[in-house]
């Protein structure tokens, strides 16, 4: 060690750095560190052995004062100097710097002033190294720095959020305020380091794909300590402050804001990890789980904790920053709750269902979410609760059980109508998932939600596309019910009696014509597909069931079904269904659904079948591409080729219906197009040979 000290002193002398007296190595390093605060010698000193010499002083056998000054020198070498950063990385000094923090993160001893100085220098050194240096960020992240640093600076051993606002505790040292500032800076800089490490941009500023990132490895203790600032925000809500005038309120709030910015990055990154999401649901010892703490923060739904509300009266300039601190923590807690609820590994833990299909009554998370939905509207809490319930409803048994919660579906529909778009979007998302199981569809469709959904599809809401996608998707799920045709009658407003028609078909057609979003067009058309399949499945048994449930005559139900079917024969609906075929080149589901649905409609109405060929052979300008056909006829020919047998069979069925219609010039053109592939199928050993032969016979009859 004496040799290291001599070499460091020699470097200082060589560059004429003033060292007062015969100082020890810590004093020499302090003088060098002071010099490095300016850029006069920064590059020259970085090119010497000084970085390596400082690195040798970072083990746990070196006096803390020397480690601290060595870290300070390394921190200042990294200021705006990429060459020095690369030098440090090339010699592996970054690992020694991180090891200092790792040792303190695993200890539980009381932190004295010398240790706090060391931690402040260590965090500052790593922050300067990682800034504007993707290689350093990648290396440190690979070494586990995100979890290590988060757990260290999140721990109450380092800093308790808001503790500066309550005055010195009984028996505090005279330098209490100075120590609080050191602790807050360590926490603030540490979370800034975490935020920097999770930055995925490269040297050019381009963001790295999340799929290319190496996931952060978390342990239970690390998750607990990393999320402590969230618990502190909740705990300090009603504690009365005793402000110490020597603090700069605006600075203190700004430093705390950095804590929540870093914590936000951890939450955003962590919720993509199964381990993090699972550990966030598990209590740590006698402490509540991180998820419980986050729910507490969202539940409070106030603008500021009491200590900040009182303190900002002393400094109005700090009010906006203070609100930002709390808003950041609450917003990220809300997002994390939703994401944790959406993690597949947590589904049975957070939403347990009994063997008889009921929700377990004693589970706190479902009770927390449902109570928020069933209570009076709280705009801060409602979207989070409904989005989280929507994620839980992705499990089939959870979905069925949630729909049985007394009053829940009606409350969600009521919230959807309240005019707030954030709440409406969350409500639509929850209902969309609840509407997937067959048993839930009639219950949701009967709530009279369609008029509200249709307002979301109006032209003035075109800028809120996620809401429109959700509304169309919800209608699609509700209509996709061949076992309960009454669901579709509710959508039309034809049930319950007396009928209140909803104009659903016309509103969907207006959206279809208006939008230039292909996915939204296709989703809208698929609503028609499911409506037709449901209505055409309404046999006499279904009619009797509906009549019994609704206390209506069978004749009345029959009449309502016919009214709905009539709307589906609208020429614009048929054009949309024909267009569905054109998008089937790369999507077998669309092709199969289009063929089957057109067969159902045309087989029920000979007049529409006569006009069908005209629509199918019509060329749509600009529609042909590697993904799309230019005409429905091209799609029909394709469906008779090398595709799954089910699609071939659906194509043959449609051709049989079309070819049986009265002949027209368009019929002749269509039959000529499909004759060759039909002949090939009819002479093959395919499973649908007989269907192909029948279709071919009708086609040849058309051409005679």
104-150: per-residue pLDDT in tens? 988 877 889 999 999 999 999 999 999 999 999 999 999 999 999 99
CB under 8 A, 24+ apart: contacts of 665-671: 666/613, 666/614, 666/616, 666/617, 667/610, 667/613, 667/702, 668/702, 668/703, 669/613, 669/617, 669/633, 670/613, 670/616, 670/617, 670/633, 670/636, 671/699, 671/702, 671/703
Please tell me the least confidently modeled range out of 181-190, 249-258, 615-624, 647-656: 615-624
C-alpha span between 576 and 691 (Å, rounded)? 26
- Are the C-beta atoms of residues 150 and 266 closer than 8 Å to each other? yes
The answer to whether position 21 is within a domain reads yes
The answer to whether position 116 is within a domain reads yes
- Are the C-beta atoms of residues 394 and 343 closer than 8 Å to each other? no
The answer to whether position 111 is within a domain reads yes
6-60: per-residue pLDDT in tens? 999 999 999 999 887 666 899 999 999 999 999 999 999 999 999 999 999 999 8
Q: What is the mean pLDDT of the chain?
A: 88
pLDDT score of 154 more than 60? yes
pLDDT score of 211 more than 70? no
C-alpha span between 526 and 594 (Å, rounded)? 9
C-alpha span between 304 and 309 (Å, rounded)? 6
Largest CA distance in the chain: 115
pLDDT value at residue 25 = 92
Peptide bond into 653 cis (omega under 30): no
Tokens standing for residue 450? 């369609």
Helices 382-392 and 408-416: crossing angle, nearest 10°? 130
The more confidently predicted of residues 624 and 74 is: 74
pLDDT score of 204 more than 60? no
Classify each residue of 311-339 as buried b or exposed e, where b means 16 or more C-beta atoms within 10 Å of its C-beta: bbeebeebbebbbbbbebbbbbbbbbbbb
Q: Which helix (H) or strand (E) holds 674?
A: helix 665-682
CATH number of the domain to which 82 belongs: 1.25.10
The answer to whether position 214 is within a domain reads no
Tokens standing for residue 513? 């014509």
Cβ neighbours of 200 (radius 10 Å) = 17
| Domain range enclosing 82 | 1-143
The answer to whether position 354 is within a domain reads no
CA 621 to chain centre: 38
C-alpha span between 354 and 593 (Å, rounded)? 37
C-alpha span between 310 and 205 (Å, rounded)? 41
CA 382 to chain centre: 17
Calculate the dihedral angle through the C-alpha atoms of 650, 655, 656, 662, rounding to the nearest 10 degrees. 150
pLDDT score of 378 more than 90? no
pLDDT value at residue 209 = 46
C-alpha span between 303 and 168 (Å, rounded)? 26
Classify each residue of 553-588 as buried b or exposed e, where b means 16 or more C-beta atoms within 10 Å of its C-beta: eeebbeebbeebbebbeeeebbbbbbbbbbbbbeee
pLDDT score of 166 more than 80? no
What do you get for the CA distance between the two ends of the chain, in Å?
Answer: 105
C-alpha span between 126 and 74 (Å, rounded)? 9
> Which pTM does this prediction carry?
0.85
The closest alpha carbon to 397, from 432, 439, 343, 368, belongs to 439
- Are the C-beta atoms of residues 508 and 457 closer than 8 Å to each other? yes
Range with top average pLDDT, 159-168, 271-280, 520-529, 658-667: 520-529
C-alpha span between 442 and 409 (Å, rounded)? 12
C-alpha span between 447 and 427 (Å, rounded)? 14
Q: How confident is the model at residue 676 (pLDDT cuts 50, 70, 90)?
A: very high
Q: How confident is the model at residue 258 (pLDDT cuts 50, 70, 90)?
A: confident
| DSSP per-residue string spanning 42-68 | HHHHHTSSHHHHHHHTTSTTS-HHHHH
Classify each residue of 421-454 as buried b or exposed e, where b means 16 or more C-beta atoms within 10 Å of its C-beta: eebbbbbbbbbbbbbbbeebbbbbbbbebbebbb
Query: What's the number of CA atoms in the CB half-sphere (13 Å) around residue 683?
Result: 5
Query: What's the number of CA atoms in the CB half-sphere (13 Å) around residue 545?
Result: 11
Tokens standing for residue 214? 């190496």
pLDDT score of 425 more than 70? yes
CB contact set of 64 (below 8 Å; sequence gap of 6+): 114, 115, 117, 118
The more confidently predicted of residues 122 and 668 is: 122
Tell me the percentage of the chain whose pLDDT exceeds 90. 60
The answer to whether position 81 is within a domain reads yes
C-alpha span between 222 and 220 (Å, rounded)? 5
CA distance to 278, 363, 519, per residue, from 402 (Å): 22, 13, 29
- Work out how many domains the chain is built from and give that number: 1
C-alpha span between 548 and 545 (Å, rounded)? 5
Peptide bond into 496 cis (omega under 30): yes
- Are the C-beta atoms of residues 552 and 546 closer than 8 Å to each other? yes
pLDDT score of 96 more than 50? yes
The answer to whether position 61 is within a domain reads yes
Range with top average pLDDT, 105-119, 294-308, 521-535, 655-669: 521-535
pLDDT value at residue 702 = 78
CA distance to 32, 472, 494, 535, 543, per residue, from 540 (Å): 93, 30, 18, 12, 5
The answer to whether position 42 is within a domain reads yes
289-303: per-residue pLDDT in tens? 889 988 888 887 555
């Amino acid at each position: 060690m004496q040799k290291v000290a001599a070499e460091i002193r020699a470097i200082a002398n060589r560059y004429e750095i003033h060292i007062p007296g015969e100082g020890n190595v810590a004093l020499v390093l302090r003088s060098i560190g002071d010099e490095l605060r300016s850029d006069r010698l920064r590059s020259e000193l970085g090119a010497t052995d000084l970085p390596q010499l400082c690195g040798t002083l970072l083990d746990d056998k070196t006096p803390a004062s020397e480690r601290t000054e060595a870290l300070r020198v390394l921190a200042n070498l990294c200021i705006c100097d990429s060459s020095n950063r690369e030098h440090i990385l090339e010699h592996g000094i970054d690992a020694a710097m991180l090891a200092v923090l790792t040792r303190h993160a695993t200890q539980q001893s009381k932190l004295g002033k010398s240790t706090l100085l060391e931690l402040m220098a260590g965090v500052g050194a790593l922050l300067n190294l990682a800034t504007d240096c993707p290689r350093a960020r990648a290396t440190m992240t690979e070494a586990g720095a995100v979890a290590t640093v988060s757990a260290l600076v999140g721990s109450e051993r380092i800093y308790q959020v808001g503790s500066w606002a309550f005055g010195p505790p009984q028996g505090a040292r005279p330098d209490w305020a100075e120590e609080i500032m050191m602790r807050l800076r360590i926490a603030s800089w540490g979370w800034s380091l975490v935020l920097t490490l999770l930055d995925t941009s490269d040297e050019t500023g381009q963001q790295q794909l999340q799929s290319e990132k190496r996931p952060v490895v978390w342990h239970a203790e690390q998750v607990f300590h990393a999320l402590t600032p969230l618990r502190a925000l909740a705990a300090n809500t009603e504690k009365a402050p005793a402000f110490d005038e020597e603090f700069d309120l605006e600075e203190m709030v700004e430093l705390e804001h950095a804590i929540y910015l870093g914590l936000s990055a951890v939450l955003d990154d962590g919720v993509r990890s199964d381990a993090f999401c699972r550990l966030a649901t598990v209590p740590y010892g006698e402490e509540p789980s991180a998820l419980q703490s986050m729910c507490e923060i969202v539940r409070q739904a106030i603008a500021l904790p009491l200590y900040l509300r009182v303190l900002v009266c002393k400094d109005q300039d700090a009010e906006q920053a203070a609100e930002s601190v709390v808003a950041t923590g609450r917003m990220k807690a809300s997002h994390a709750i939703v994401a944790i609820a959406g993690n597949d590994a947590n589904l049975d833990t957070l939403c347990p269902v009994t063997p008889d299909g009921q929700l377990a009554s004693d589970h706190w998370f479902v009770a927390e979410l449902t109570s928020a939905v069933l209570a009076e509207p709280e705009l801060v809490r409602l979207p989070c609760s409904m989005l989280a319930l929507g994620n839980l409803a992705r499990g089939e048994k959870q979905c069925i059980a949630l729909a049985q919660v007394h009053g829940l579906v009606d409350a969600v529909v009521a919230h959807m109508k309240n005019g707030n778009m954030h709440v409406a979007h969350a409500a639509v998302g929850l209902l969309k998932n609840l509407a997937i199981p067959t048993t839930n569809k009639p219950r949701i469709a009967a709530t009279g939600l369609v008029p509200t959904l249709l307002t979301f599809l109006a032209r003035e809401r075109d800028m809120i596309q996620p809401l429109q996608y959700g509304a169309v998707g919800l209608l699609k799920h509700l209509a996709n019910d061949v076992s309960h045709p009454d669901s579709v009658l509710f959508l039309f407003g034809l049930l319950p009696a007396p009928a209140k028609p909803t104009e659903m078909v016309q509103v969907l057609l207006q959206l279809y014509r208006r939008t230039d979003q292909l996915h939204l067009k296709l989703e809208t058309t698929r609503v028609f597909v499911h409506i037709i399949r449901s209505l055409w499945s309404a046999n006499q048994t279904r009619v009797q069931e509906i009549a019994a449930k609704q206390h209506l005559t069978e004749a009345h139900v029959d009449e309502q079904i016919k009214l709905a079917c009539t709307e589906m024969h609208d020429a614009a609906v048929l054009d949309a269904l024909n267009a569905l075929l054109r998008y089937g080149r790369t999507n077998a589901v669309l092709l199969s659904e289009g063929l089957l649905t057109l067969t159902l409609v045309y087989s029920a109405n000979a007049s529409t079948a006569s006009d069908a060929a005209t629509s199918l052979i019509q060329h749509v300008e600009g529609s042909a591409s590697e993904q799309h056909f230019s005409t429905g006829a091209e799609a029909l020919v394709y469906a008779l080729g090398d595709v799954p047998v089910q699609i071939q069979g659906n194509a043959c069925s449609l051709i049989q219906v079309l070819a049986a219609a009265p002949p027209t010039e368009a019929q002749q053109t269509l039959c000529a197009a499909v004759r060759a592939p039909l002949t090939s199928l009819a002479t093959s050993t395919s499973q649908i040979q007989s269907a192909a032969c029948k279709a071919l016979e009708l086609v040849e009859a058309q051409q005679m």
